[in-house]
Amino acid sequence: MLPTGYSYSLNVTRIDQTGAWLDADQQEVLLPRREFPGELTIGMQVEVFIFLDRDARQRATTRHPAAEVDQFAFLQARSVGPHGTFLDWGLEKDLLCPFSEQPQRMLEGRRYLVRICHDQQGRPIASARLDRFVEKENQDLREGDEVELLLWAFTDLGLKTIVNNRYEALLYKDEVDQSLKRGQTRRGFVLRIREDRRIDISLRRPGAAGVNDARQVILSALDATGFLPLHDQSAPENIRNTLGLSKKVFKKAVGGLYKEGIVELTDSGIRLIKPTP
């Protein structure tokens, strides 16, 4: 029997009134007739997700949940039962997050970041105890690598993120703006690997490449308005909320534009004086 909670590409072995039966590692799993993606024939290969129905039997579906086993997801709590909270993960049967896997009791209607995993019986469940599932010390990333970020939790230093579905990393406060929300996914870059092998992340490419990206952001804004009410004395949050840039990168990019004679610096902001190509 195939492990439950994953997607598979399976062959149709027979078809009857209930649906199509798929070859699942020398056993058969039912894809109900209502799930047929058009006409199915024996021998055809179908992309399905294997889950447990309300009678704890394996079933196949052509629908795919928000996340599979070994992945993180930001899910809404739909109801509370005697053993835990049921989360909407996109299938007809909700996903249980046992009370033992909740650091704080979940409330109906709210969304929670969880990891999909198996319980001792091999059934998919959710866990909100995320620290158990992330690695803190880098094994294979290098500075400058592009990575996938899942925004985890706000802290005094900035925003904890989960990198590539594996590592805990920190996005510092000077890059955190009002558009960032817990549970969102973003593209990011490895800013540095610290001596303790912890990972620091940036939303922009580090070094000269990041400054060049910031330059393009500033020029696009100036092309639209001709003037930006930002300067060296502007509060970091104003720069961040207006352009999505840290103050440090903003100053470097503006300095380069000024030296090239593209912008004029005034007490009230930046003025475009040389049209960009």
Q: What is the pLDDT of residue 39?
A: 83
Ranked by mean pLDDT, the top range of 29-43, 124-138, 208-222 is 124-138
In tens, the pLDDT along 134-162 reads 999 999 999 989 999 999 999 999 999 99
Q: What is the pLDDT of residue 277?
A: 55
Average pLDDT value for residue range 45-50? 94
Query: Domain 7-61 class?
Result: mainly beta
The 3-state DSSP class for residue 252 equals helix
pLDDT at residue 275 is higher than 70 = no
Signed CA dihedral, 67, 69, 71, 73: sign only? positive
Domains 146-202 and 207-272 belong to one CATH topology:
no
Nearest to 115 by CA among 74, 161, 171, 164: 74
Is CATH 2.40.50.140 what the domain over 146-202 is classified as, yes or no? Answer: yes
Of 37-46, 65-74, 149-158, 182-191, least confident by mean pLDDT is 37-46
pLDDT at residue 38 is higher than 80 = no
Topology at the third CATH level for domain 207-272: Arc Repressor Mutant, subunit A (1.10.10)
Given a contact cutoff of 8 angstroms between Cβ atoms, the answer to whether 32 and 18 are in contact is yes
Q: What is the pLDDT of residue 89?
A: 96
pLDDT at residue 207 is higher than 80 = no
Q: What is the pLDDT of residue 145?
A: 93
The 3-state DSSP class for residue 14 equals strand
In tens, the pLDDT along 86-137 reads 999 999 889 999 999 999 999 999 999 999 999 998 899 999 999 999 999 9
Q: What is the pLDDT of residue 28?
A: 93
Max intra-chain CA distance, the chain: 78
In tens, the pLDDT along 256-266 reads 888 888 888 88
Could you tell me the residue ranges of all domains in the chain?
A: 7-61, 72-131, 146-202, 207-272
In tens, the pLDDT along 216-263 reads 888 888 888 888 898 888 888 888 888 888 888 888 888 888 888 888
Per-chain mean pLDDT for the chain: 91
Nearest to 253 by CA among 208, 217, 215: 215
Which one is the CATH code of 72-131: 2.40.50.140, 3.10.20.440, 2.130.10.10, 3.40.50.720?
Answer: 2.40.50.140
pLDDT at residue 34 is higher than 70 = yes
For residues 275 and 226, what is the distance between their CA atoms, to the nearest angstrom? 9
Given a contact cutoff of 8 angstroms between Cβ atoms, the answer to whether 48 and 7 are in contact is yes
Token pair in block for residue 78: 């739909």
Those residues with Cβ within 8 angstroms of residue 135's Cβ, 6 or more apart along the chain or in another chain: 166, 167, 168
pLDDT band at 276 (very low <50, low <70, confident <90, very high): low
For residues 260 and 118, what is the distance between their CA atoms, to the nearest angstrom? 58
